Amino acid sequence: MNVACTGRSRAIGARIAGHLGAGVAETSFSRFPDGEISLRTGPLDEATVVVGSLLSGDSLVELLLLIDACSGSKVTLVVPYLGYARQDRAFQPGEPVSARAIARALSTGVSRVITVNVHKDTVLSHFTVPASGVDLAPDVGDYIATLGLDEPLILAPDKGAGSFAAAVASRGGWEHDHLEKTRVSGTEVRMEPLGRGPWKGDVVLVDDIISTGGTLATASRMLLDQGAKGVHAVCVHGLFAGTALSLLRSAGIANIAASDTIESGESRYSAAGAIARAIAR
């Protein structure tokens, strides 16, 4: 078995290969003069794990080309960050179910798909091959334990992330809760104060995705105003769109951490071990 990666997923791909004791196949992406993406791979084994997060149109094309180049091989597709999963229904008439469109496209030429903390598990049903999700809640809990905080509150910024916060908290025997969030626009949210009353200790905000940072920045400002000792933020997928990092820092967040599903300066823990265990199952 070998592992073949798209351009922006080489680091996590190499870590997955390390856990599996597999080799990393040579892949070289470049551009034709008109901007189209070209790919050349080295020799591939009979079974290949293709690793690529879906971050942009280019990363989708890279994944499709890589899967096609592996056509003589049995392919397990690993998409550490599955972009477009948040558009999981047509919110307005005339909109596509983007998650379904992407899942169908990525089902061709692969025998199974593995992804990580997909926005909603129902998205997995859109793949036309067996698809499973890896949950990094235990890894987030283990990372939080390294911060050495004294009895932190593990807090989800909305009800949807409440069960994730509960699973993270169970790793360290910490308390957990969730806030009530109302989305005002793509960049703006409104938060209700904690139902249990102000928390005077450390708070760790946990979420599946940080995109613009608006959600966690709003939560942080409110918690600090209400007397929290410190606010920390740990997510699975750190997209950090535009000025997200400076927004989060200016909202007083002491630590900002994400996994390596999207490699960045904030990647503080790895999804590779959990993914490798899912591949081996």
- Residues interacting with ligand R5P, by CB under 6 A? 157, 160-161, 207-215
Q: How far is the CB of 23 from ligand R5P (least distance, A)?
A: 36
Give every CB contact of residue 111 below 8 A, 6+ residues apart in sequence: 74, 75, 76, 129, 130
User: Of 215 and 220, which has the nearer Cβ to ligand R5P?
Assistant: 215
CA distance 113 to 130: 6
Contact by Cβ (8 Å): 47, 22? no
CA distance 278 to 76: 11
Is 200 an active-site residue? no
| Encoded tokens for 236 | 């699975």
CA distance 242 to 265: 15
The residue from 74, 120, 181, 229 that is catalytic is 181
CA distance 16 to 214: 32
User: Of 50 and 209, which has the nearer Cβ to ligand R5P?
Assistant: 209
Q: How far is the CB of 178 from ligand R5P (least distance, A)?
A: 11
In one letter, which amino acid is 50? V
Q: Determine the distance from the C-alpha atom of residue 206 to the mean position of all C-alpha atoms in its chain, rounded to a whole number.
A: 12
Q: CA-CA distances (angstroms) from residue 113 to 81, 104, 133, 166?
A: 12, 11, 9, 26
Q: How far is the CB of 143 from ligand R5P (least distance, A)?
A: 18
Question: Going by DSSP bridges, is the β-strand pair 37-41/47-51 parallel, antiparallel, or unpaired?
Answer: unpaired
Q: How far is the CB of 180 from ligand R5P (least distance, A)?
A: 13
User: Of 4 and 271, which has the nearer Cβ to ligand R5P?
Assistant: 271
Q: How far is the CB of 248 from ligand R5P (least distance, A)?
A: 9
User: Of 152 and 214, which has the nearer Cβ to ligand R5P?
Assistant: 214
User: Of 123 and 276, which has the nearer Cβ to ligand R5P?
Assistant: 123
Q: Which residues are catalytic?
A: 181
